[in-house]
Amino acid sequence: MSGPTLTTPEPALPTGSNPEGKRGLEAVLRLNDFRKLWLGQIFSQLADKFYIVLMVFLIDQHLLLKGQGSGVLAEMASGYGLDISTRTQVITLLATGIFVANTIPAMLLGTVAGVWADRWPKRRVMVASNAVRALLVVFAPLCLLPGPVWLGLPWGYWGLVGMTFLESILTQFFAPSEQATIPVVVPGEHLLAANSLYQATSMGATILGFALGEPILRALHSSLAILGIDGGEFLLLPLCYGLAALSLSRLKLQETPKPASNTSVWAEIGEGLQVLRRVPSVRGAMIHLVLLYSLLAALYVLALQLAALIDNLGASGFGALLAMSGLGMAIGAVVMAQLGHRFSRRRLTAAGLGTITWTLVLLSQLRGSLPFTLSLCGILGIGAALVAIPAQTTIQEETPETERGRVFGLQNNLINIALSLPLVLAGTLVSSIGLQPVLWLLAGLALVAALIERPWQRC
């Protein structure tokens, strides 16, 4: 798990667009094409979060009311030991189906989509993926029409599951193209700030998207209903995806036309794996990201347990802990954008992993205290930003331009697996050995990773 080769503070190099060699958010936001790419990211990520909220909203407000034969569903669920005797439990179970449909393409298709992101013009891929997603969600109202019931549920629910699956496939093509475009439109000396801004935006979109999604949907529904227009909630997603496509269509990328490839997709996936073998800094950064997202995924489960121990919060308030960690990541990203270039990436990574270790140990000792738990979740988020941003920047810098798409596709595959498997493992471990030992185990993994970086050595 060797750290990136760029282990000394980065000098402020003047460029044509940055004559004084200034660094930070102000300098990177002066880059015209980066601003367009960043706006596209904002609208696309908000749309992704609003999409999940809309699916749950439709299940709750429409499909569940039209469902017939719910006894069939309950009977099937009981066969797997599931209790869906209450409305909330039914909604949770149906929402899980949406989450699974959204996750499967992310786990299976990321690397394949990355290969095509290398073969096709990136701007066209990004514009087309957002435009087609905007078109696809226009058909969501059709899923509310009366029809046959399958497995105790209206056909419209299965239509939404299929739509979610297709949306996720399109997202797999968008993600590696977007990540591979950043080093094309951003000079090397600004990459750390650009990735910091992207990280902060991603956390902000997650918090705002899930927190404000339902109020916005309800406001659109009620405001247009006053004008005699039904279905106002369906306008939000086409608008967001459409604005993303519009912003990205104005990008001016200098991409060299690629000749038709005679190499198979699987051979090109193998070439992407060879990049990890040939370039130790990329391999080390990828391992850091997989480890980080594995820890964060485990904490999603542990947050339920931590919240349940707090008297005035309860298990249902676990979202407050996750939101606080997201806020910490956003704060850490902003600080990294302004000051990160002054420090070596190896030490930033070690400091981030050390911070995560320290907060996990303290969380195991200070369980039940709301102020301490919230504060430690925020600090943990800052530590996560110190790991994620240098790692992402190193992968962008050190990966050959012709292979960025497939490497980022592989990265998305690994991260989605890292976000999925620990969810099951952490829950099983907590049931077997308890919360405190699991927190100690995670802290031990983070500590070992921090020590492997050898931060005590001169960089």
Structural domains in the chain plus CATH codes: 30-190+206-250 (1.20.1250.20), 279-459 (1.20.1250.20)
């798990």: which residue's tokens? 1
Q: How many CB atoms lie within 10 A of CB 133?
A: 28
The residues, any chain, with a CB within 8 Å of residue 260's CB and separated by 6 or more, are: none
Residue 147: the pLDDT is 77
Name the least confident of 2-16, 94-108, 175-189, 350-364: 2-16
Nearest CA among 339, 33, 358, 389 for reference residue 203: 389
pLDDT at 346 over 80: yes
Instruction: Name the range with the highest mean pLDDT among 289-303, 312-326, 424-438.
Output: 289-303
Q: Regarding predicted confidence, which is higher, 389 or 90?
A: 389
- Over pLDDT 90: what percentage of the chain? 17
CB 221 within 8 A of CB 82: no
The tokens describing 38, both together, are 């960043």
Please state the pTM of the whole predicted model. Answer: 0.72
**Mean pLDDT of the 228-242 span:** 87
CA 188, 333, 283: angle at the middle one, nearest 5?
Answer: 55
CB-hemisphere CA count at 13 Å for 411? 31
Distance CA 52, CA 36 (A): 25
Q: How confident is the model at residue 12 (pLDDT cuts 50, 70, 90)?
A: very low
**Mean pLDDT of the 247-272 span:** 72
CB 394 within 8 A of CB 281: yes
Residue 260: the pLDDT is 58
CB 405 within 8 A of CB 180: yes
Distance CA 104, CA 165 (A): 8
**Mean pLDDT of the 41-54 span:** 89
Q: How confident is the model at residue 117 (pLDDT cuts 50, 70, 90)?
A: confident
Enumerate helices (H) and strands (E) in the chain, giving the number of each. 17, 2
Compute the mean pLDDT over every residue in the chain, rounded to the nearest whole number. Answer: 79
The residues, any chain, with a CB within 8 Å of residue 81's CB and separated by 6 or more, are: none
Distance CA 261, CA 6 (A): 33
Type and span of the H or E element at 149? strand 149-150
pLDDT at 355 over 90: yes
Residue 4: the pLDDT is 39
Q: At what angle do helices 155-185 and 191-226 cross, to 10 degrees?
A: 150
Distance CA 130, CA 171 (A): 8
- Over pLDDT 70: what percentage of the chain? 81
The two beta strands, 149-150 and 153-154, are antiparallel
Q: How confident is the model at residue 9 (pLDDT cuts 50, 70, 90)?
A: very low
Q: Could you tell me the CA-to-CA distances from 31 to 125, 152, 190, 249, 387 in Å, in that order?
A: 22, 54, 10, 16, 25
The residues, any chain, with a CB within 8 Å of residue 223's CB and separated by 6 or more, are: 232
Residue 344: the pLDDT is 84
**Mean pLDDT of the 247-252 span:** 91
Give the three-state DSSP class for 1. Answer: coil
